[in-house]
């Protein structure tokens, strides 16, 4: 697994670049927009008694800035969805992660289905973090990533046969706290089971209700009744 160290460093550099990009985006859009709103509302407050018409105009400008800022915030939130999921399903992406780590394999249980993007993103980030720890610290010869689709939940288990650690010590503190926080926002749970020399299992479970069945198509309208035949003309009177 030491041969994959370069790949791990490349991934870490990519994460840092993306973090810096998002920080710059937040500064240039959301932070600047909030500053503009603050200045406009301060000016409106000063003019409220002397120039009420001008104050109302400033408030309207602040409202317009708020609308623009909200649109930018929504765009940034959309950009936070993992780009890896744009090119494939969650099982495909996880299988690709395992293919990039010597000794790792992927298992799929249950019937795959598309989940809400935040749920898929949390599962993907959990798998990436667990495999990064396997690569850097575990000195493992084998690892298994299992993705399980349940009727109302999705579960991820990442097992390795590495050196393990004591979860109550400093070895898993920050990483486990961050993992629990990420999945906790979505109503999920995360746990780590490990012992020194006994390998590690990282488990994540998130609520993921099955999509509602599509409504049954409306029945086709009954055909209109055929018009009644016209009555036959009465016979002409016999004039003989």
Least confident of 11-25, 41-55, 150-164: 11-25
C-alpha pair distances (Å), 100 with each of 3, 93, 140, 175: 11, 11, 15, 22
Asked if the structure places residue 12 within a domain, the reply is yes
Q: How many structural domains compose the chain?
A: 2
What residues contact 68, with CB distance under 8 A and at least 6 apart? Answer: 33
On whether both 158 and 128 belong to a single domain, the answer is: yes
pLDDT of residue 65: 85
Task: Compute how many other C-beta atoms are within 10 angstroms of the C-beta atom of residue 30.
Answer: 15
Average pLDDT, the chain: 82
Between residues 82 and 36, the one the model is more confident about: 36
**Number of H helices and number of E strands within the chain?**
6, 5
Task: Look up the CATH number of the domain holding residue 125.
Answer: 3.30.565.10
Asked if the structure places residue 128 within a domain, the reply is yes
Query: Are 165 and 172 contacting, i.e. CB atoms less than 8 angstroms apart?
Result: yes
Asked if the structure places residue 225 within a domain, the reply is no
Least confident of 3-17, 40-54, 117-131: 3-17
Between residues 223 and 144, the one the model is more confident about: 144
On whether both 62 and 101 belong to a single domain, the answer is: no
Least confident of 75-84, 87-96, 156-165, 224-233: 224-233
On whether both 104 and 189 belong to a single domain, the answer is: yes
pLDDT of residue 141: 92
Tracing tokens 């004039």 back to the chain, one arrives at 239
On whether both 43 and 119 belong to a single domain, the answer is: no
pLDDT of residue 231: 63
Domain boundary among 31, 59, 79: 79
pLDDT of residue 206: 98
Between residues 119 and 238, the one the model is more confident about: 119
On whether both 53 and 133 belong to a single domain, the answer is: no
Between residues 25 and 181, the one the model is more confident about: 181
Residues above pLDDT 90, as percent of the chain:
43
The values of phi and psi at residue 235, to 5°, are: -65, 145
pLDDT of residue 223: 67
Domain boundary among 25, 57, 79: 79
């Amino acid at each position: 697994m030491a041969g994959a160290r370069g790949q791990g460093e490349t991934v870490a550099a990519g994460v840092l670049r993306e973090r810096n990009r998002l920080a710059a985006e937040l500064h240039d859009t959301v932070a600047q927009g909030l500053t503009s709103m603050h200045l406009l509302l301060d000016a409106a407050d000063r003019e409220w008694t002397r120039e009420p018409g001008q104050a109302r105009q400033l408030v309207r400008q602040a409202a317009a800035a708020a609308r623009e800022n909200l649109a930018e915030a929504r765009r940034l939130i959309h950009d936070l969805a993992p780009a890896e999921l744009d090119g494939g399903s969650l099982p495909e992406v996880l299988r690709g992660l395992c293919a990039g780590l010597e000794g790792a394999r992927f298992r799929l249980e249950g019937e795959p289905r598309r989940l809400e993007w935040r749920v898929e993103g949390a599962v993907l980030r959990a798998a990436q973090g667990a495999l990064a720890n396997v690569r850097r610290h575990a000195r493992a010869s084998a690892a298994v990533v299992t993705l399980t689709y349940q009727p109302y939940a999705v579960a991820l288990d990442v097992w390795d046969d590495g050196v393990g650690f004591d979860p109550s010590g400093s070895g898993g503190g920050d990483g486990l706290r961050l993992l629990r926080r990420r999945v906790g926002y979505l109503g999920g749970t995360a746990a780590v089971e490990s012992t020194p020399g006994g390998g590690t299992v990282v488990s994540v479970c998130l609520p993921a209700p099955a999509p509602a069945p599509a409504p049954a198509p409306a029945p086709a309208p009954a055909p209109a009744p055929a018009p009644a035949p016209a009555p036959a003309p009465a016979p002409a009177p016999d004039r003989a």
